[in-house]
Amino acid sequence: MAKKPVTPDEISAKKTAKKKAPARRVKRGASTTIDPRSIDHDTRRSLVATEAYYRAERRGFTAGHELEDWVAAERAIDLALAGHSAS
């Protein structure tokens, strides 16, 4: 069987049909905040441990700053969960 030739209008219609709808942007604000006390303890601890590790890595893993890294990581994670930027 011979295929029917495709017209330019059919090509244009196929291209238009394949286009996806633009991604919806999520506004960051009060609706995206999470009370740090409302998340699972193990999840929060994992987030804090990861942040503390990266802080120690940036410092070159020099000894003696473990508690400082942990406390700063807790503060950063709690601020991030509350929707504020951490510095």
What digits encode the pLDDT tens for the residues 37-76? 678 999 999 999 999 999 999 999 999 999 999 999 999 9
Q: What angle do CA 7, 10, 13 make, to 5 degrees?
A: 150
Predicted model pTM: 0.56
Q: What is the dihedral of CA 53, 59, 61, 65, to 10 degrees?
A: -80
Residue 20, domain member (yes or no): no
**DSSP letter (8 states) at residue 5:** P
Helices (H), ranges, 1-87:
8-18, 41-58, 66-81
Residue 4, domain member (yes or no): no
Number of domains into which the chain is organized: 1
Residue span of the structural domain in which 65 resides: 35-87
Tokens of 27: 């506004």
Reported as a pLDDT band with limits 50, 70 and 90, residue 16 is low
